[in-house]
A and B are shown apart, each in its own frame.
Chain A
Amino acid sequence: MKQDKNPKLILFSILLLLLLSYPLITVANKAALVWGLPALYLYIFMVWIIAIAVIYSITAQQYKEPDE
C-alpha cells in the first residue's frame, strides 16, 4: 500500500526541537566535563548525530510518492 514518510518526518522534527530546547536541554547545561568533553556540547552533538542517522533511515527508504 501507499506509504508516506511525511508523518514520520514531521513527528521527528517536533521531537528534535523538543530535545534541543528548554527544559530538556537543562539536563546538560552545566560547566562540567563528561568523558573529557563539555557536557552540553556532548549532549548536543549526540542528539545531532542521532538526528542525522534517523533522517537518513527515514529518507533512504523507498516510499511510493504520495502523488494524489
Chain B
Amino acid sequence: MNNIIAIISALLYLALLFGVAYYAEYRQRKGHSVINNGYVYALSLAVYCTAWTYYGSVGRAATNGPEFLTIYLGPTIAAVLFWPVLRKIIRICKTQRINSIADLISTRYGKNFSIAVVVTILCVLGVIPYIALQLKAISNSIHVLGANNMAEVGLGSFLQDDTFYITAVLSVFIILFGTRSIDASEKHEGLVAAVAFESIIKLVAFLAAGIFVVYGLFNGFGDVFTKAMASPQLKQLFQLGNNTSYATWLGLMMVSMLAVVFLPRQFQVSVVENMQEKHLNRAAWLFPLYLLLINVFVLPIALGGKLVFGGSGVDADTFVLALPLHFGQSWLGLLVFIGGFSAATSMIIVETIALSTMMSNNILTPLFLSAKKFKPVADGTLSSSILNIRRFSIVLILALAYVYDKTIAQYFSLVSIGLVSFAAVAQFAPAVLGGIYWKGASKNGAMAGICTGFVVWFFTLVIPSMVSAKILDESIMTQGLFGIGWLKPFSLFGIEGMDSITHSVFWSLLVNITTFVVVSLNTKQQAQEIYQAEIFVDIFKHSATPDSNTVWKGTAYLPDLHSLLENFLGPQRAQKILNNYALRNKIPLDTKRADPRLVSFAEKVLAGVIGSASARIMVSSVTKEEELKIDEVINILRESQQMMELNRELKKKSIELQKATQQLTLVNEQLKEMDSMKDEFLYTVTHELRTPITSIRAMAEIVYDNDDMDEEQRQTFLGNIIKETERLSHLITQVLNLERYESGRQKLNLTPVLINNLLSEGIEALQPLADEKKASLELQLPDTMFIVRCDADLLQQVMYNLLSNAIKFVEPATGLVKVSVHTNHDDIQIWVDDNGRGIPSGLNELIFDKFFQAKNQTLKKPQGSGLGLAICKKIVEMHNGKIWVESEEDKGSRFIFTLPNS
C-alpha cells in the first residue's frame, strides 16, 4: 500500500461526498428533504467527533488512561440540557435570523458591531489551530498508510504535499455547497447530509478497527484487560493517573460540556442548520449513544497497541491505523484511513463554513462596504460580491489552517490543540447563557467579560505554545511575564497542581464571569439593548406574536429600503419578500414613507445575509433613525406585554369555553344514553307484563262470558288465571329487586354463613320443581365446612335462580342438575352443572343481560322473567365475586360463581 492509493481513495471518497450532497440538494428541490428528521440531526451533531476523537483518543488513553472520556461525558450531560437550553437558543436564532455565534452575541447586546468583531477574532484564533489539527491528522494517516517515515514537509515544498491537494478539493466542496444562497441563515441541506453521512462512515470504520483488535488480535475484552493487568505500567491506565487530578477530570468535563454548544461548528449544525426544534428530543439520547459507541473500543485499542508495539516507538495517536496494517490487514487499514479522513473532513467542512460566515459578515463585508462608500444601487452586483467575500473567507481560513499545520502544529499532540480551542470557545458561555436568562446582562459587561477571558486564555495557553514553537523566549514560562513571579502562564498567582487546560479554563472563566457580572451590574443599558434583552430572555412569549411590535423610530422612504434589499437579494427576491410581508401584516406598499415595521423587517432579512450588526448599519445608512428613548422602549415593551397577556387571557378563556362545551356535550350524550337505556328497560318490562295480562284477561273474559261452560273447563281457566297472576307478581318483584340492587339501595346484610347449609337449603327448595319434571338434583359437598361472610337471603336468590333455570332447560326424566363446591386460594367457587341443551357460543356473556331472552327470540321461553341471571350477576358482584358460564351446545352448561374466601 502506498501514498498514491491513499490519496486516490481520499479523492474518491470526496467525490462520493459530492454525490451525497448533490443528492440531498436534489431531494430538497423536489420537496423531499432527506435531512428533516431527528436521526440525521443527531448524526450531524456527531461532527463533534473529529480526527482528534478518531486518532487522538487512543493516544490520550495510552498515556492518561480514562481521562479521554471526559471529552464525551461533558457533551452527554449537555445533551440532557438540549431541550431546556439549546431549544431556547434555537428559537431565538430562528426568530432573529441569526447565523453564527458572533451574530447571536452581538444581536443580544444591542446589535453591537465591536462585540461581533471580538467574538469573530476569538473564534478564528481559537479554532484555526483546530482545523490545522485535522489536516495534520490527514497527512499523518496518509504517511502511516504509506508506511513512510514522518518526513518533515516544509512550506516550500507544498506542491509535493498531499494535504495541499486535499485542502484544495475541500475548499471547492465547501464553496459549492456552503455559499449556494446569499442568506447565511438558510439551511445547507447538502452539507448537512454529507456530514451525517460522514458520521456513519467514521463510526463504522472505528468500530471495525475495534472489533479487529479486540476479537481478531485478542480473545475479547476480558483477554485484552487481563493481559494489560499483568503489566504494572498498563495497569495504571485503568484509573485516573497521576496526570489527571479530580480537578482536571471535572474541568475537562465542564469545558467539553460548553464546547459542544459553543464551538462554531457545533453551533452551526445544532442551531443554524436545525430544521425543527423537536429533533432535539431524538438527538438528546441518540447523540450520547453515538459518543458512547465510538468510545467503547478506545481503551482496548490503546492497550492492544501498547501490548503489540511495546516500546518500539509507534506513536499511540496512530494505533488505530497501525494495528491493522502491522498485521497485514491492508483493506481494513484503508477503511480505517477513510474513517479518519471522514472524521477530519466533516469537521473541516462545518467549521470552515461557520468561521467564514462570521469572518465575512463581521469583518470583511463591513470593510468592503465602507471602502466602497456604499450607495444604494440596485444593480444586484452586491449580492455576488458578498458571496465572493464569503468564498474568499473560506479559502483564507483553510489557507491559514494549512500554514499553521505546516509551521506550529507539529509541536503538539492532537488532543492538546483541540482542548485549546475548547477553552477559547468556553469564553462565550457567560455572555450567551447570561444573555438568554438574565435581562440585566449588558453589552459592556459581555464585552469586558469576553475580552478579559480572552486575554487570560491567550496568556495561559497560546503564549506557552509560542514558547514551545520557539517564537517566544522560555523565560516567560519560568520567571513570569516581565519577570513577575505570579504571572507564570501555567501557574497564575502561584497556584499549581492543575494541568494547563484546567488551569486556563479555571482562571479565564473566573475572570470572564466576574467581569461580566460586575460590569453588567454597574453599567446602564441602552434602549436597543433593553429591547433585545427582553426578546431574548422571554423568547417563548415573543415568538408567539412575531412582527407584532417594533422599536424602530424615524423616517424612511420605501424606494430606498427597496433598493437596499435589491442590492443584497436581487430585484425579484426583494420584491417577493417585501410583498409577502406587507400582505401578511396588511401594510400598504404604495406609500412613499416606509412603515416602521417594514424597516424592522428589512433589517432582519439583511441580518440573515450579512449579520445583524452590519444589517443595522446598512439600514441606518438609507434611513433617518431617531434615537429611541428608554421610556419609549419600555412603553413598546409594556404594550406588547399587555397584548400578549390579552392574547393569552383570550386563548385561555376560549380553551376553557371549549372544554366546558365538550363536557356538556359529553354529559348530554350520557344522559341521552341513560335515558334511552331507561326507555328500553321500561319498554321491555311493560312488554314482558303484557303477555301474562293478555292471557289473564282473555281467560277471565271467557269465564265471565260463558256461563254455560262445563265445570272442569272453568276450573282449568281459573287455575291458569291464578298461575299467570303469580307469574306476573314474580316478574314485578324481580324488576323491583333488580332496580334496588342496581341503584345501590340494597344494603348487604353480611353474616357468617355456612355455605354447605346454604346449598342444601337451595336444593331442598327446588326439589319439588325438579320432581315435577322428573329431573334429578344432586349436591356434592366436600367434607370441609365453608364459612363465608355474605347476605344469606340474597345468595339464596342466586341459588334459586340458577337452579330453576337449570331445571327449566334440562330434558324431562333424563335431566340432571348438580351443585358442587370448589375452592382455591383466593375464593370459593360454586358450580351448577346441567345436562341441558347448552348455550350457543357467543352468548355466554349476553345471557347475563337484562331481558336477554326477550330480545333474542330464539331463546324466548321456556318461561321466566328474563331477569334471573341479571339479578344473580348483580348479587354476586355486590359480594365482590364473579359469575360466568361455561357451556357446550347440546352437552350442557356449567354456571360458576365465586365468593371471596374470608
Contacts and interface: CB of A to CB of B under 8 A. Distances in A.
Contacts of A55: 79-80, 284-285, 288
Interface in A15-68: 16-17, 20-22, 25-26, 29-33, 36-41, 44-45, 48-49, 51-53, 55-56, 59-60, 66-68
Given A20-B73, A22-B246, A38-B238, A52 B66 contact: no
Interface in B263-291: 280-282, 284-285, 288-289
Interface in B212-238: 221-222, 225-226, 229, 235-236, 238
A5 B83 contact: yes
Nearest to A35: B222
A36 B227 CA distance: 11
A12 B73 CA distance: 14
B281 A60 contact: yes
Nearest to A44: B69
B222 A36 contact: yes
Given A10-B84, A67-B540, A40 B77 contact: no
A36 B540 contact: no
B249 A16 contact: no
Contact of B235 (A6, A31, A37, A45): A31
B698 interface: no
Interface residues of A, number: 38
B648 interface: yes
A19 to B, nearest CB: 10
B288 A48 contact: yes
Contact of B292 (A5, A49, A56, A60): A49
A30 B241 CA distance: 10
B246 A21 contact: yes
B750 interface: no
Interface residues of B, number: 38
A26 B296 CA distance: 21
A59 B285 contact: yes
A47 to B, nearest CB: 9
SS of B interface (majority): helix
Given A20-B73, A22-B250, A38 B83 contact: no
Given A41-B66, A44-B66, A31 B238 contact: yes
A40 B76 CA distance: 18
B259 to A, nearest CB: 16
A39 B238 contact: yes
A40 B238 contact: yes
B253 interface: yes
B301 interface: no
Interface in B544-572: 544
A51 B287 CA distance: 12
B292 A6 contact: no
A52 B239 contact: no
Nearest to B240: A29
A44 B238 CA distance: 12
Interface string B561-602: 000000000000000000000000000000000000000000
A5 B481 CA distance: 50
Q: Which of B238, B292, B648 has the most CB of A within 10 A?
A: B238
Contacts of A49: 292
B299 interface: yes
B471 interface: no
B81 interface: yes
Given A13-B80, A33-B229, A44-B66, A68 B541 contact: yes
Contact of A52 (B83, B222, B285): B285
Given A9-B84, A59-B83, A38 B299 contact: yes
Contacts of A48: 73, 76, 288, 292
B348 to A, nearest CB: 28
Nearest to B288: A52
A44 B225 CA distance: 16
Nearest to B228: A38
A34 B424 CA distance: 39
B436 to A, nearest CB: 14
B249 A21 contact: yes
B80 A33 contact: no
A16 B540 contact: no
A22 B248 CA distance: 11
A32 B69 CA distance: 18
Contacts of A12: 80
A26 B249 CA distance: 12
Nearest to B291: A48
* Most chain A beta-carbon neighbours within 10 Å: one of B76, B80, B238, B250: B80
Contacts of B250: 21-22
A7 to B, nearest CB: 9
A44 B74 CA distance: 12
A38 B73 CA distance: 18
Contacts of B79: 55
Contact of A37 (B81, B221, B246, B288): B221
B428 to A, nearest CB: 20
Contacts of B281: 59-60
A68 to B, nearest CB: 5
A31 B282 CA distance: 36
B226 A44 contact: no
A36 B221 contact: yes
B80 A9 contact: yes
B350 to A, nearest CB: 24
Contact of A51 (B80, B249, B540): B80
Contacts of A44: 66, 69, 73
B80 A56 contact: no
A52 B73 contact: no
Interface in B60-106: 66, 69, 73, 76-77, 79-81, 83-84
Given A13-B80, A16-B76, A52-B292, A33 B246 contact: no
Contacts of A33: 225-226, 229, 238
Contacts of B253: 17, 20-21
Interface string B442-476: 00000000000000000000000000000000000
A6 to B, nearest CB: 4
A13 B229 CA distance: 34
A59 B225 CA distance: 36
Given A13-B80, A40-B240, A51-B76, 8 more contacts: A6-B83, A6-B84, A30-B238, A33-B229, A36-B221, A36-B226, A55-B79, A55-B285
19 contacts: A9-B80, A13-B80, A13-B81, A25-B249, A30-B238, A33-B226, A37-B221, A37-B222, A38-B239, A38-B299, A40-B66, A44-B66, A45-B296, A51-B76, A52-B285, A55-B80, A59-B284, A59-B285, A68-B648
Q: Which A-B residue pairs are the 8 nearest by beta carbons?
A: A36-B222, A22-B246, A38-B238, A13-B80, A59-B281, A56-B285, A55-B285, A6-B84
